[in-house]
Amino acid sequence: MEHYRVQIAANGRMVLPAGLRQQPHVEGGGLLIIREDEGRLILESVDDAVRRTQALVRRYAPKAEGVMDELLTECRAESSRE
């Protein structure tokens, strides 16, 4: 694990070091999510945040594979009744 020292300007801006910008999940011009966790700031790509959130939800809804199909079926049935 690499460690970087980053200067934060008075206006809150900081420069992401080149070693971090070259990581596979960090793209120039892309979005990062910064979250606070027990006093630490964690930077992660949007894709990684989505995957982490999906894994969290999957723990509570493990059998949700067909949820979208069920929703579409219900919507079609409701639409045909109108």
Would you say 64 and 58 are in contact if contact means Cβ atoms under 8 Å apart? yes
Q: Which whole number is the average pLDDT over 51-61?
A: 85
User: pLDDT (tens digit, 9 = 90+) per residue, 10-34?
Assistant: 999 999 888 888 887 776 777 889 9
Measure the CA–CA gap between 5 and 16, rounded to whole angstroms. 10
What's the Cα-to-Cα distance from 17 to each of 7, 47, 58, rounded to whole Å? 10, 20, 34
Confidence of residue 8 (pLDDT cuts 50, 70, 90): very high
In contact, 52 and 44? CB cutoff 8 Å: yes
d(CA 34, CA 41): 6
If you average pLDDT over every residue of the chain, what do you get? 85
Which 8-state DSSP code applies to residue 25?
A: T
Mean pLDDT of the 54-59 span: 85
